[in-house]
């Protein structure tokens, strides 16, 4: 069973929810798909002895063979190749590794060479994994793909997704059985929750909402969920105590057995929701 935790807006508490869920279960795998800023390790504090590179094929152009015809540049949707004075100029960081230039080149001047864009780090049993995209690299999908190739099918898996609702999130939640949407009751939080709801509905994945930093002063998320027939499975209050523990890297489930119980109930609830 694969549960993805996403939010739309950043900073709503995806990692708090995902890491708490993972901490409550005896056998579970945690995958931090937020490869631009993985932070699950701050709370879960795993040993990460295993590290492997994530490579992408990047074109190389042999100037001796290139006749400057420009077909590679015409086919490149990302403007990663220009042809100036009969010579092809390559911009590797704009390349999305589609391989089209390789196919269209009639003089066989283009070959591919692996280029490292990030790494994957895991604990020895592979039950904790995160990816790190190297600084300056714009395309995170290959790192997320590499993480999901290591997904363990025989135990529950919690995927901590990147913020937003774009390709990186789509790739993270693809193939998951259930989505938990973490929302905070602010105008911005509500706006982005709405986008995330549209995404999971479009992808046909069952989902429910967790309200984080809930308070009586703003009930906009609750109202939105009621109007749209969306279930709220957990409310985490806006609490000084939780915020203080969080600032020390301590999850609510570790600090307080009451929260552990609530997260275990949340898991059982989700499990039942998937089976029915």
Partner 1 sequence: MKIGLTSTGKTLDSMMDQRFGRASYFILLDTDTSEFEALPNEASMTAGGSGTFAAQVIADKGVSAVITGNVGPNAMNVLKAADIGIYRGYPATINDNIEKYKRGRLERVDQAGPSHFGMSLKRNKK
Torsion of CA 121, 123, 126, 128, to 10 degrees: -80
Q: Minimum distance between the CB of residue 131 and partner 1, rounded to whole angstroms?
A: 21
Q: Minimum distance between the CB of residue 93 and partner 1, rounded to whole angstroms?
A: 8
Is the CB of 82 or the CB of 222 nearer to partner 1?
Answer: 82
Helix (H) or strand (E) holding 6, with range, is strand 2-6
Rounded to 5 degrees, φ, ψ at 165 are -145, 30
Q: Summarize as ranges the residues that interact with partner 1 (CB under 8 A).
A: 73, 78-80, 82-85, 87, 89, 91, 94, 138
Is the CB of 83 or the CB of 151 nearer to partner 1?
Answer: 83
Inter-CA distances, 153 with 138, 139, 186, 261, 272, Å: 30, 26, 36, 25, 18
Q: Minimum distance between the CB of residue 136 and partner 1, rounded to whole angstroms?
A: 10
Burial class (CB in 10 A: 0-12, 13-18, 19+), 116: exposed
Tally of residues, the chain: 276
Tell me the angle at which helices 187-202 and 220-227 cross, rounded to the nearest 10 degrees. 30
Is the CB of 18 or the CB of 117 nearer to partner 1?
Answer: 117
> How far, rounded to the nearest angstrom, does the alpha carbon of residue 182 sit from its chain's CA centroid?
14
CB atoms closer than 10 angstroms to residue 51: 10
DSSP summary character for residue 8: B
Is the CB of 19 or the CB of 81 nearer to partner 1?
Answer: 81
Is the CB of 139 or the CB of 214 nearer to partner 1?
Answer: 139
Is the CB of 82 or the CB of 152 nearer to partner 1?
Answer: 82
What SS3 class is residue 64? coil
DSSP summary character for residue 62: -
Q: Minimum distance between the CB of residue 12 and partner 1, rounded to whole angstroms?
A: 25
Q: Minimum distance between the CB of residue 104 and partner 1, rounded to whole angstroms?
A: 17
Q: Minimum distance between the CB of residue 76 and partner 1, rounded to whole angstroms?
A: 8
């Amino acid at each position: 069973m694969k549960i993805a935790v996403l939010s739309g807006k950043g900073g709503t508490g995806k990692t708090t929810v995902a890491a708490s869920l993972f901490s409550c279960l005896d056998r579970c795998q945690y995958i931090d798909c937020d490869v631009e800023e993985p932070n699950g390790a701050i709370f879960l504090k795993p040993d990460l002895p295993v590290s492997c590179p994530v490579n992408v094929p990047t074109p190389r152009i042999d100037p001796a063979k290139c006749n400057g015809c420009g077909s590679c540049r015409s086919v490149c949707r990302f403007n990663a190749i220009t042809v100036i004075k009969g010579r092809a100029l390559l911009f590797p960081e704009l390349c999305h590794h589609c391989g089209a230039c390789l196919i269209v080149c009639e003089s066989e001047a283009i070959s591919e060479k692996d280029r490292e864009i990030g790494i994957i780090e895991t604990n020895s049993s592979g039950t904790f994994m995160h990816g790190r995209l190297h600084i300056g690299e714009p395309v995170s999908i290959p790192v997320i793909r590499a993480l999901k190739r290591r997904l363990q099918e025989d135990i529950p898996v919690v995927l901590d997704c990147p913020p937003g609702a774009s390709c990186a999130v789509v790739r993270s939640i693809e193939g998951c059985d259930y989505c938990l949407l973490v929302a905070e009751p602010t105008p911005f939080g509500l706006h982005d929750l709405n986008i995330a709801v549209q995404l999971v509905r479009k992808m046909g994945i069952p989902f429910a909402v967790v309200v984080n930093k809930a308070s009586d002063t703003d009930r906009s998320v609750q109202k939105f969920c009621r109007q749209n027939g969306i279930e709220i499975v957990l409310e985490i209050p806006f609490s000084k105590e939780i915020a203080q523990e969080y600032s020390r890297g301590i999850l609510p489930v570790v600090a307080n057995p009451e929260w552990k119980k609530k997260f275990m109930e949340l898991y059982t609830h989700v499990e039942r929701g998937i089976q029915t």
